[in-house]
């Protein structure tokens, strides 16, 4: 984690916020000093939105407290320690141990995949942590590289961010229609709403091991529908780098949770690899019930029509809709919709300077993307490809109007709605509307105009041609023809010098399409060091965009 700013507030009369370490789904994480005990801690400041209703604000607070309680009851060397939960000016804060080091996702991004020995060591640590959590009746439900910290100097592995954890016997956000997670790391049974148990965390760990070994999630695709298909239907092809640990990876990624490798056996197999350099095969005997987690009635499998593999040529968007319908019949429709949404973006403009937005170099007119999943994309912005596979659906998908975890639905008076991260504020600039993070680090832009000659592709190409004039230091620009909701669209991606030399270069994702006689443009821009988070915001913005 790198510092991004300073605050120097003292909250609860005790904790001095000194440097921003990063932003998670629920808010900002600060490096702080506990002035009473004289020690460094991490403080998670929960983002609040004045537009939330009283009930929504209560739910957000309840979620904060649930995370703290879920983790505070756990004592394990590979689980983050929660020291305190405090209120300051009616805002909750979680005080945790400070881990000096970045996440596994940061390590993969900076240095590439890890070797089999390191992956096995990480797997053993996480399996041990999950065993302790499951025995205490706690499901993590968001296992992914970004939620695994690597302590500098010791390489201690620490599981963090229990923000959507489920505690046995407690009312959860699932039951209020806000079931969430990271699609690339979400077990197929959770996708369908059929079941949630310790096995689902183990599937996520299997996907994490593949990512650590190969540098990219095995279920990464260019659209949310593609991710759904990869997780639920498609044949799993393990990356070549997973060969040394293949029995464990395949056992954890077994689609049938009853046949999935359990934590104890997976840990034994990984320890055997660390000792001998060879991974023994998994036992063929059926797996016993795992640990001490007692499923509630809501956790038990529901009767539902069996899933049917998609027909040849069936669109990923159509498949997403079909899966949501299955989930609805299973009694979890809204939950599944929330799970499958993710995205982000910022890019500015229409190819013409705008006097009302002096801080915003111009981008193009309509930018919205049907693009990728919540990404573990490891390429640099200069070399990454804008891999947005065309959507072959001939009709727009039903609007998904439930915000993912850490987001809210913004109903904009300009005639549209979309999901934006909690804490982002609306900043209209002429004919463009922006939703921006604190300090303008991330900028989500939307523009609605009349159609222009040649359609979205021509519009984007004209904007790209003017890129050097409208975006200082414009480089690595590319325009890709794609679709949005079955309609022709174009994606423009580029890097430019940014707003200041202090901040450095920024990267922009920009999608444009026409719909019902109007042209829509949705984009996201962010510093080049934060393109993965920006791509997530962009994907969520595009996949939740609805004209109103």
- Please, which pLDDT band fits residue 525 given cuts at 50, 70 and 90? very high
Q: Where are the alpha helices (DSSP H) in 192-277?
A: 198-214, 224-232, 246-252, 263-276
Is 297 inside any structural domain?
no
For the chain, what's the residue count?
548
The verdict on 82 and 157 lying in the same domain is no
- Please, which pLDDT band fits residue 180 given cuts at 50, 70 and 90? low
Which of 473, 471, 455 shows the shortest CA–CA distance to 523?
471
The verdict on 77 and 119 lying in the same domain is no
Task: Give yes or no: 142 in active site.
Answer: yes
Q: What pLDDT score does 294 carry?
A: 40
The verdict on 333 and 364 lying in the same domain is no
| pLDDT reading at 147 higher than 80 | yes
Domain count of the chain? 3
* pLDDT single digits (tens) 484-522: 888 999 999 999 988 877 778 899 999 999 998 999 999
Is 504 inside any structural domain?
yes
CATH of the domain at 26: 3.30.200.20
Mean pLDDT, rounded, for 409-436: 92
Alpha-carbon gap, residue 526 to 52, rounded angstroms:
26
- Highest mean predicted confidence (pLDDT) among 261-275, 321-335, 381-395: 261-275
Q: Residue 244: give the domain boundaries.
A: 104-284+309-339
Report the 3 state secondary structure along 345-407.
CECCCCCCCCCCCCCCCCCCCCCCCCCCCCCCCCCCCCCCCCCCCCCCCCCCCCCCCCCCCCE
The verdict on 462 and 490 lying in the same domain is yes
The verdict on 49 and 90 lying in the same domain is yes
Which of 458, 452, 462, 448 shows the shortest CA–CA distance to 368?
448
| pLDDT reading at 186 higher than 50 | yes
CATH of the domain at 486: 3.40.1000.10
* pLDDT single digits (tens) 212-228: 999 999 998 877 778 88
| pLDDT reading at 436 higher than 90 | yes
Q: What pLDDT score does 332 carry?
A: 34
The verdict on 345 and 262 lying in the same domain is no
Q: What pLDDT score does 470 carry?
A: 87
Tokens of 461: 């190409």
- Please, which pLDDT band fits residue 78 given cuts at 50, 70 and 90? very high
- Which of 142, 262, 344, 348 is catalytic? The answer is 142
Tokens of 182: 């990271």
Query: What pairs with residue 297 in β-bridges?
Result: none
| pLDDT reading at 240 higher than 60 | yes
Q: What angle do CA 483, 488, 492 make, to 5 degrees?
A: 70
Query: What pairs with residue 30 in β-bridges?
Result: 20, 43
């Amino acid at each position: 984690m790198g510092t991004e700013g300073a605050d120097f507030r003292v909250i609860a009369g005790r904790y001095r916020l000194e440097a921003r370490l990063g932003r998670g789904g629920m808010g900002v994480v600060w490096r702080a000093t506990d002035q009473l005990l004289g020690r460094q801690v991490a403080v998670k400041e929960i983002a609040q939105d004045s537009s939330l209703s009283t009930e929504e604000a209560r739910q957000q607070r309840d979620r904060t407290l649930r995370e703290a309680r879920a983790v505070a009851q756990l004592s394990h060397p590979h689980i983050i320690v929660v020291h305190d939960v405090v209120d300051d000016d009616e805002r909750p804060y979680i005080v945790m141990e400070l881990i000096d080091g970045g996440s596994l996702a940061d390590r993969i991004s900076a240095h590439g995949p890890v070797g089999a020995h390191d992956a096995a060591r990480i797997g053993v640590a996480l399996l041990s942590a999950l065993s302790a959590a499951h025995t205490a009746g706690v499901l993590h439900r968001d296992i992914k590289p970004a939620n695994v910290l690597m302590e500098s100097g010791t390489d201690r592995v620490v599981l963090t961010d229990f923000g959507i954890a489920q505690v046995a016997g407690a009312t959860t956000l699932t039951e209020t229609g806000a079931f969430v997670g990271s699609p690339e790391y979400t077990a197929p049974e959770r996708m369908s709403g059929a079941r949630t148990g310790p096995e689902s965390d183990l599937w996520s760990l299997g996907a994490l091991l593949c990512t650590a070994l190969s540098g990219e999630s095995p279920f990464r695709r260019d659209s949310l529908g593609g991710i759904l298909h990869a997780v639920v239907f498609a044949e799993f092809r393990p990356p070549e780098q997973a060969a040394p640990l293949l029995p464990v990876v395949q056992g954890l990624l077994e689609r049938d949770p009853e046949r999935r490798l359990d934590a104890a056996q997976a840990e034994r197999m990984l320890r055997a690899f660390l000792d001998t350099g060879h991974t023994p095969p998994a036992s063929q005997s059926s797996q016993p019930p795992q640990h001490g987690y007692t499923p509630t009635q809501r956790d038990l499998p529901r009767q539902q029509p069996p899933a049917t593999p998609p027909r040849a040529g069936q669109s990923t968007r159509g498949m997403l809709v079909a899966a949501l319908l299955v989930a609805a019949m299973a009694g979890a429709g809204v939950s599944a919709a929330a799970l499958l949404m993710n995205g982000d973006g910022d890019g500015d403009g229409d190819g013409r300077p705008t006097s009302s937005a002096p801080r915003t170099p111009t981008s193009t007119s309509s930018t919205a993307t049907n693009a990728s999943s919540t990404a573990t994309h490891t390429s640099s912005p200069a070399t990454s490809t804008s891999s947005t596979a065309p959507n072959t659906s001939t009709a727009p998908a039903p609007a998904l109007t439930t915000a993912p975890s850490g987001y809210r639905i913004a109903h904009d008076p300009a005639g549209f709605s979309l999901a934006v991260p909690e804490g982002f504020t609306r900043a209209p600039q002429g004919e463009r509307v922006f939703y921006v993070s604190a300090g303008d680090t991330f900028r989500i832009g939307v523009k609605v105009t009349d159609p222009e000659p040649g359609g979205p592709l021509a519009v984007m190409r004209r904007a790209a041609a003017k890129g050097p004039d409208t975006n200082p230091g414009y480089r690595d620009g590319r325009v890709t023809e794609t679709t949005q909701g079955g309609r022709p669209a174009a994606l423009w991606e580029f890097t430019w010098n940014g707003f200041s030399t202090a901040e450095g270069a920024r990267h922009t994702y920009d999608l444009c399409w026409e719909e019902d006689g109007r042209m829509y443009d949705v984009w996201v821009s962010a510093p080049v060091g934060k393109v993965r988070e920006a791509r997530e915001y962009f994907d969520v913005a595009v996949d939740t965009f609805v004209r109103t």
